Amino acid sequence: MSARPSKRRIAIIGAGFTGSVLAAHLMRHADEPTSLHLIERTPSLGAGLAYSTPNAAHLLNVRAYNMSAYPDDPRHFLRWLWAQDGGTQDGGAGAVPPSGHAFVSRARYGAYIQDVLREAVAAAPPHVSLTVSQAEAVDIASDARGTRLRLGNGTSLSVDTAVLCIGNFAPSPPPVPAPEVYASSRYVASPWDWPALSTIASDTPVLILGTGLTMVDTVLSLEDKGHRGPIIALSRRGLLPQTHEETRPFKSFIHPQVMPRTVLDVMIALKADVRRARETGFDWRSAFDALRPYHHLIWSHLAPEERRRFLRHVRPYWEVHRHRIAPEVAARIAALRANGRLTIRAGRLQTLTPVPNGVEATVRARGAEGTVWTRTVGAIVNATGTECDFSRIAHPLVKALLTRGLARPDPLRLGLDVTMDGALIGEDGQVSDRLFALGPISRPPFWEMTAVPELRSQCAQAARHIARLRRSAYPPAEPSPLHARAMP
């Protein structure tokens, strides 16, 4: 019989913001011998997709004051900024004011998360260790014998607990049959594929699918590499993210014991708050932000059909007001629209047809008339947002989870079906005590689980929960073969 391991073993799959901050919190909370295994496919820890951009013009969409990695230390990021060159609060160039109302580059924030992880390792107690593996987790099995991971480099790892922090997935192709286009170099499937964006000729017309935050990043990337051709951004409604302005404390209409039960009730009350804010000299943003601490509570009180109604009718308008852009970024987008370089259109993509000099896109405009227009473009960038329907994601680890029945997509296709603690719910409806998912893939019970203020709280709570779990029956000391359901 295999010897009982001397340490509890926890694997964290993904070392972007969520995985790195979870590791930092676990090193704080683990009160028994614990071996943490942080598995990341890229060479860089902490940055992930969001903060690995090489473009300094890509700014955070949340002011610096709200970006601490620790919910119990809200000024942690500010102190880090002030300690860096050019980050003083004395009014110098690049100063971040004491209010924290500033929007720094995402790359800089990635460096902060890397420092958070380094400091956590340095301060970890002797009974906690961290091992980093640069590899991709491609298979997983979990049963009475334990949980086993197989990595892309051919190694296996047996652990007591596995936490998926795998972030976001690139958008799926639009629902238009155009295999020749999607297979060509004229189609950029992921807006975060910086090398692919850099191959777009500087004078070619570009069609960007989507008009949200990702479109904004794509436009800035094209501009900063010298693109001078016209850009059309297309979405169903043609909505642009609103601009951040400094807000003031405002009391929300929400009373935790009297929660709205319908989307209509939420919107009526929110609009009343906006009117009340304006009457007292506040901006609408103050009323909207006052609702933020209650988003999860509101969502939990909505019936499934009300959640569907929100996603179908309200979501686009909610997101452009909720997820705003820095004033500096908004000014650049406004200037591009004013000089005709960027055009925002509302409509539905109908066809994509290869032509000798590019791709011809046919669009039915939004509105009662529904006029049809066509444009020939040299490149198409899919910036429609991350894919959340896990039944459409081809990543081998995701396929293994679903095929083995260890996880299931939630009914609204917002992510994986999980509990409020992040425990995966299997195909049979059973809640796992070994497998957890955090970050954007755990969105279904919360609705909002994409921004740092929500993610850091989730990481802190999950670390406390996982640290309290009893050590379950251990897998063999030597890695065992994955043997449950066969991979597809």
Are 8-58+105-169+388-468 and 179-242+325-382 in the same CATH fold?
A: yes
Q: What's the whole-number mean pLDDT along residues 275-281?
A: 92
Band (488; pLDDT cuts 50, 70, 90): very low
Which residue in 133, 122, 153 sits closest to 13, CA to CA? 133
Cα Rg, the chain, nearest whole Å: 23
CATH fold of 8-58+105-169+388-468: FAD/NAD(P)-binding domain (3.50.50)
Beta strands in 187-246 (DSSP E): 187-188, 206-209, 231-235
Which residue in 258, 326, 246 sits closest to 282, CA to CA? 246
Q: Compute the distance between CA of residue 284 and CA of residue 271 in angstroms, rounded to an integer.
A: 9
- Is residue 37 over pLDDT 90? yes
Tokens 């890695």, residue located:
479
Phi, psi angle pair for 103, to nearest 5°: -125, 105
Residue 133, beta-bridge partner list = 39
- Is residue 475 over pLDDT 90? no
Both structure tokens of 201: 């000729």
Q: Compute the distance between CA of residue 106 and CA of residue 452 in angstroms, rounded to an integer.
A: 12
pLDDT on residue 454: 93
- Is residue 93 over pLDDT 80? no
**pLDDT tens for residues 399-410?**
999 999 999 999
- Residue pair 218/232 in contact by the 8 Å Cβ criterion: no
Which residue in 392, 393, 396 sits closest to 138, CA to CA? 396
- Is residue 279 over pLDDT 70? yes
How many CB atoms are located within 10 Å of the residue 348 CB? 16
Report whether CATH 3.50.50.60 matches the domain 179-242+325-382.
yes
Beta strands in 262-323 (DSSP E): none
- Give residues with Cβ within 8 angstroms of 132, minimum separation 6: 15, 38, 39, 40, 45
- 116-126 as b/e: b if 16+ CB within 10 A: bbeebbeebee
pLDDT on residue 267: 94
- Residue pair 183/358 in contact by the 8 Å Cβ criterion: no
- Give residues with Cβ within 8 angstroms of 233, minimum separation 6: 208, 210, 211, 215, 219, 342, 343, 344, 345, 383
Q: Compute the distance between CA of residue 445 and CA of residue 179 in angstroms, rounded to an integer.
A: 35
pLDDT on residue 53: 83
**pLDDT tens for residues 211-259?**
999 999 999 999 999 999 999 999 999 999 999 998 888 988 888 778 8
- 283-309 as b/e: b if 16+ CB within 10 A: bbbbbbbbbeebbbebbeebeeebbeb
Domains in the chain: boundaries? 8-58+105-169+388-468, 179-242+325-382, 263-322
Q: What's the whole-number mean pLDDT along residues 90-101?
A: 67
Q: Compute the distance between CA of residue 347 and CA of residue 364 in angstroms, rounded to an integer.
A: 5
